Structure 1
């Protein structure tokens, strides 16, 4: 986290010298079930607090945009609009919330059914349905040929998932920083039938809401021989209520 010169000076002053005393840093705002669920399913970094709109742009080491995610959200924390663009593969989709469904913004086809306020419930085309716990967090997804289990920490931060499809098991494990204000500093591994596939290391700068402003991401393809490393930068814009 960037600290300005005034804050640096204050950090050097003993607590007893400050008239107001020294208060413990406030605890970060927990992640909502909707933010945790959507970030896990649509592969973007979850954000804290009263987010109104955001963009996350993945830039490769050549300076070219590889992926972009953008969204606008209601004050209740629902994703009103979610746009996903895989630039590298020239694919994407824009979803808009309409009653109990997310519709394709272009065709208005019903893509995702919701539950609760606006949590994921069913992907009709794939026959996939999500189950939630009593807090509204997605804990499992089931389809004709797949079953997925999800894990979170006590702040609702996604710790990964295990996807089982017939004789293949894909395990995604995320280990965030021990600093609760820096959850996006993490290491992550993906294993296919317990065989390492990819490893990710991310470190970020943060805003006052403990959300990332920019991150450095190193991906290692451990399935290749020798392993191949790729460096990315993630740029964020976040607007709050």
Structure 2
């Protein structure tokens, strides 16, 4: 379904990003994995994609919060793959803490990576999408951006901002044939969420369990191929935010 297309997945070396990269590769897309630090993990994802699905996959180290670095990285991806058709903004960090005691640098770091990072990627990919007269942007937000979460004012603000950015970008870019949607995962079992077995919020999930990274990857696969869907925020949360 995506044969001949190229997809960028930020934060693609592990967790949700890894699952999305592999799922899009399974549909025939070539994959550009953007990662922050773990080269071995990123290259392992690329090998998994190439060996299992016979697509091209390459890893690129880049700090998505750095406007100039993103510009350079996107230019290199264009050189390597010819163009880009799909962008998945998945890179994200947490610096949790109570609002009254949160350090300014912790607030700034989360907004810079989670929100500005997505802007930087969209900004530098938009020209390629416009020239192609097609493009698909998928922003990985969170139910924390919909319902908030105590101890995560920075994270929740970044994810709520990403929802607003998604809707604005969808309206602005639709006349160019470019779609922009978001996925709002709930409690998904990843390295970032850690062991949540004793988290009382699990009792608030109607389906009664944490989600898997593959659940989010399936949503990404749908949005990558849903040609008449834009400006949507698709919750993958077991019902916790309904």
* Same fold at TM > 0.5: no
- Tell me the TM-score normalized by structure 1: 0.34
The structure richer in strand per residue is 1
Q: Whose RCO is larger (CA < 8 A, sep 6+)?
A: 2
- Which structure has the larger Rg? 1
The structure richer in helix per residue is 2
- Tell me the TM-score normalized by structure 2: 0.34
